[in-house]
Amino acid sequence: MKKVVYAVTRYGKTGQTRVTGLGYITDTDLIIACQSKENKPYIRVFEDCIKDCHPIPYKPGEHSGGYYEIREVEVETKNGAKETIEVQIDYKIWYKFVD
């Protein structure tokens, strides 16, 4: 694993959310430490995102790319029944290797 400085931007209907900090890169994944709304710490893994990131020209050690994931979300319909739908969540990932 290699240590990196990262920025992950999540895009959605309500705008964008950005998270930055120190994390780790494996051969395929970005691993970062996060904190939930209830202030509980957890580890977030962006699986297979490294293959979608490319080196940024004229900026040695920096990489950037797009990433998306599909999540199943349970929603309530007009008649009160619950239905499961799939939602695509888009991210932009940037990272730079730390010596």
Tens of pLDDT along the chain (99 residues)?
899 999 999 987 778 888 899 999 998 999 999 888 899 999 999 888 888 899 999 998 899 999 888 889 888 888 888 989 898 889 999 999 997
pLDDT reported for residue 62 = 92
Residues 23-37 have pLDDT tens digits of 999 989 999 998 888
DSSP 3-state assignment of 17? strand
Report if pTM > 0.85.
no
Number of domains the chain contains? 1
Token couple for 15: 């705008």
Three-state SS across 18-49? EEEEEEEECCCCEEEEEECCCCCEEEEEECCC
For residue 57, the 8-state DSSP code is T
The pLDDT assigned to 29 comes to 92
Domain extent for 48: 2-97
Are 53 and 65 spatial neighbours (Cβ–Cβ below 8 Å)? yes
